[in-house]
Amino acid sequence: MSIYDFQVETIDGRSISLAEFTGKVLLIVNTASKCGFTPQYEELQTLYTDYAAQGLEILGFPSNQFAEQEPGSNAEVQNFCRLNYGVSFPMFKKTEVRGPNAHPLFVYLTGQAPFTGFDANHPIAGKLQEALQTNFPELLEGDSIKWNFTKFLVNREGAVVGRYEPTTSPLAMKSAIEKLL
C-alpha cells in the first residue's frame, strides 16, 4: 500500500487518484472554515505560492467532525477558501478523517505517522489539550486525528515523513518542506 493507491474526490466532484501527484512533495491537511486554526489557510497558501513551482502540492480535505466547524456545502467551503484566503491549492470534498467512516487515506496516514502530542511551544496547546479532555475526551484516544488542521508531510517517493498537529504553524514547516524539494 502506498499514498498513490488512494482515490479521492475533488471539491467539485471529480474522482482522482493520488497517483496524479507522483513525484511531488505533498502536504495533506484536514481543514475547517470555522475553527480557531482556520487562519492557517493563509500560511498554507503562502507555502503553496512559494513552493508549487518546485514540486509542492497542498491537498486540503475539509471535515465537519470536530465541533461541526465545517458546516457548509462543498461549494460553500470552496468559495470561503478562495474569497477569504485566496486558496488556489487543490481542495477535496468534505471527508471523515477519523472513526468508523474515516476515509482510507486518513486511516493510512495516521497509521504511518502516529500522534505524538501537541507542540507544547504553541500558545494554545495547553488550552487545546484541556478543551479536548473536558469536551471531547474520545478524540484523545489512539493515533487518529485530534482536531482540524492536522498536517501530514509526504516525500516525493510517497512516504509519510511527518505529522504536524494543529499547534504547528504551516510556516514552521518550511525547512522540513525545503529539505524534500
Mean pLDDT estimate for the chain: 94
Please answer whether residues 21 and 13 qualify as being in contact, where contact means their C-beta atoms are separated by less than 8 angstroms: no
What is residue 132's predicted lDDT score, i.e. its pLDDT?
A: 86
Top-confidence residue, 52 or 132: 52
Top-confidence residue, 173 or 126: 173
What is residue 32's predicted lDDT score, i.e. its pLDDT?
A: 96
DSSP structure string for 83-128: HHH---S-BB-----SSTT--HHHHHHHHHS------TTSTTHHHH
Catalytic entry in 4, 16, 34, 35 = 35
CATH node for 3-180: 3.40.30.10
What is residue 126's predicted lDDT score, i.e. its pLDDT?
A: 82
What is residue 121's predicted lDDT score, i.e. its pLDDT?
A: 79
Please answer whether residues 177 and 44 qualify as being in contact, where contact means their C-beta atoms are separated by less than 8 angstroms: no
Query: What are 110's three cell numbers?
Result: 495516521
Taking the CA atoms of residue 73, residue 150, residue 84 and residue 39 in that order, the dihedral angle to the nearest 10 degrees is: 140
The percentage of the chain sitting over the pLDDT mark of 90, rounded to a whole number, equals 82
Query: What are 82's three cell numbers?
Result: 478562495
pLDDT in tens, 92-145: 999 999 999 999 999 999 999 999 888 877 788 888 888 888 888 888 888 899
Closest CA to 180 of 11, 73, 26: 26
The domain limits of the chain are 3-180
The mean pLDDT of 158-169, rounded to a whole number, is: 95
Examine the residue annotation and report whether 35 is marked as an active-site residue of this protein. yes
pTM above 0.85, yes or no: yes
